[in-house]
Homo-oligomer: A and B are copies of this chain.
Amino acid sequence: MKRYLLTPGPVTIPPEIALKEALPIFHHRTDEFAMIYKNIAKGLKYVFQTENEVYVLAASGTGAMEMAVANLLSMGDKIIVASCGNFGDRWAEIARGYGIEVISASVRWGKTIKPAEVERALKENPDVKAVYTTFTETSTGVANDIKAIGGIVSKTNAVLVVDAISGLVGQEFRTDEWKVDAVISASQKGFMLAPGLAFITLNGKAWELVDASKIPKFYFDIKKYKKFYAAGETPFTPPLTLITALQESVRLIEERGLKNIWNDCKLLAKATRAAMKALGLELFSEVPCEIVTSASVPVDIGVKIVKTLREKYGVSIAGGQGDLKGRIIRFAHLGCIGKADLLAGFTCLEMVLIELGVKIKKGKAAAAVEEILLRT
């Protein structure tokens, strides 16, 4: 059966990127690799909107999250975690495992982080080393105001660490301009690549913490990545086929331009929200992000919707995680998901809802999507 992947990662890999993974492999301690890696490094600065170095490592995004904890802190340090979902909570879980004291500026799943709460927590705890938060929380579809939080944290001694795994590329994000001190991301979202690569970038303020960090680490030791970076190398054997694909991904992003990609996602997000409402589904997120839209579904059919959609029509969307299992659905609109994919996805979703007994007039979702798309 033909498959439509409309999940917020992994996302469909465009054929021109996918085929790069099948190219003959070559050795990584060569001028050839160094040239490719330096080219990628330049492109990554553009993607992250930073003047600082961006390191690439073989790991899932969680590996980069751990790197951002293990390199910036020491046991007994105090941090603020501002979480609004499953992945934000992961910051706290990783940090506590390292003996870090975690102060919460978190909100209920579905809500957006309150910058004023972060400010209050910083004032009450002037000794915190860092604030860890999430740009777009994939588990709830919420966007956080990183620009506002960056403005607040930058006035203190603490550094701001942001998980931009799902939001980078798809939604406007400006590392330097927004005064974000450390950003991590991964390959299987906006980069339109297979999972397996993670990214991390630090500014000077964050590097000062690296020098003071006493947590033992080897594979995730960012100093090793920095040392090899200058020569166009990685400290450990890089995932060469993914790196070759990354070069094409970065080229495609540069060619299309970040602003255009941001606008595309914004339009699809708007159409998605309209379609959800047309289907009688309430949006779950207080501030919906541009790369995935979540909506509440009747609990008796929540799990069935996702399963039926996949099995009957080949359309994969995501359900809820943790306590939200069966209570929300998540529909992605990032990467190479286009207008036609949106219509295919929503018309099938409408059929599934009708089959599961929801009263909907046929064609409503399509009409809502068309309404938005025809206006542009």
Interface residue stretch chosen among A58-66, A270-278, A284-292: A58-66
Q: Mark A78-116, 1 if CB is under 8 A from B, else 0.
A: 000000000000000110011100000000000000000
- Which one, B18, B93, B186, contacts A218 given CB within 8 A? B93
Decide yes or no: A13 and B5 within 8 Å by CB, A59-B219, A217-B97, A237-B195 being known contacts. Answer: no
Minimum C-beta distance from A287 to chain B (A): 25
By size class, the interface of chain A is 35 or more
Asked whether B99 lies within 8 Å of A216 as measured between CB atoms, the reply is: yes
Whether A241 sits at the interface, judged by CB under 8 Å, is: yes
Asked whether B237 lies within 8 Å of A10 as measured between CB atoms, the reply is: yes
Q: Which residue of B lies closest to A189 (CB)?
A: B237
Complex CA distance for A99 and B217, rounded to whole angstroms: 11
Complex CA distance for A101 and B13, rounded to whole angstroms: 47
Asked whether A9 lies within 8 Å of B63 as measured between CB atoms, the reply is: no
Asked whether A62 lies within 8 Å of B242 as measured between CB atoms, the reply is: no
Interface residue stretch chosen among A25-33, A42-50, A294-302: A25-33
Complex CA distance for A318 and B30, rounded to whole angstroms: 11
Asked whether B25 lies within 8 Å of A22 as measured between CB atoms, the reply is: no
Asked whether A28 lies within 8 Å of B12 as measured between CB atoms, the reply is: no
Minimum C-beta distance from A362 to chain B (A): 28
Asked whether A66 lies within 8 Å of B242 as measured between CB atoms, the reply is: no
Minimum C-beta distance from A314 to chain B (A): 10
Whether A236 sits at the interface, judged by CB under 8 Å, is: yes
Decide yes or no: A26 and B3 within 8 Å by CB, A93-B218, A195-B237, A237-B60 being known contacts. Answer: yes
Asked whether A26 lies within 8 Å of B237 as measured between CB atoms, the reply is: no
